[in-house]
Amino acid sequence: MRFEKVCFLAAESDAAQAALNRLRHRYGHYRPEDADVIVTLGGDGYMLETLHRCIAVGAPIYGMNRGTVGFLMNIYREDSLLERLDRTQAVTLHPLRMVAWDDNDQKHDALAINEVSLLRESRQAAKIRIRIDNRVRLDELICDGVLVATPAGSTAYNLSAHGPILPMGSDILALTPISAFRPRRWRGALLTHRAQVSFEILERDKRPVSAVADYTEVRDVVRVDVREDRSVSLTLLFDPEHNLEERIITEQFMP
């Protein structure tokens, strides 16, 4: 595919803003809705922000690292950018859809590209019942929290919580506990992307829990349902020599 109309977006850091000015001057600039491709300048956090911002736009997104963390970003180079874009490899992502009910019986709906996480709000550990496809799989998890991660998000919070790294295109989700106390030896589970995950908060008055879908937080939840939403597609572009699947493999062999 030929990419000629480029939209450049950048994080607020000095390095990202300086690169933004140079690239817009050199290659021109279009609004996201008019562009063939969106080029983001920053780190993984800004890439996540851009993905959420541009869900309705539909243009593929190509990141160049001008931040501190760049797992989802390509190496920053200004020369021959259009030719470089034409050689990229595309990866399609599908976000998680979180539906949460709070203790006022209010329903909240949000998308998560990385993960949906449940976190304790107080000094008390959370108690959470887990259902998979309407079947109770864990009657009571006592923990600091629990999360469901996509392959793209498996190297973010999920990895910090000692969850597995998932290859892109694996059609797998990671269900990972955060500092589990009981069952002490439970390390989580791998789920098919079709799985419907439901969390029920136990003793919620004594042990309040919040639910977070990337940037959207819902406090004092009673129940949280999570599933992959295949009606929403996001396309990331990677240089052939720095594709996401290779990075995921490499990460698993890091010391």
- Supply the residues annotated as catalytic: 44
Rounded to 5 degrees, what angle do the CA atoms 112, 116, 122 make?
135
- In this structure, what token pair is assigned to residue 239? 């240089």
Determine the Cα–Cα distance for residues 113 and 194; give it in Å rounded to an integer. Answer: 16
- In this structure, what token pair is assigned to residue 126? 């959370």
State CA 222 to chain mean position distance: 23
Q: What are phi and psi of 244, to 5 degrees?
A: -65, -35
Q: Which candidate, 198, 178, 182, places its Cα nearest to that of 119?
A: 178
Q: Which candidate, 144, 141, 105, places its Cα nearest to that of 123?
A: 144
Beta strands 216-218 and 221-228 are unpaired
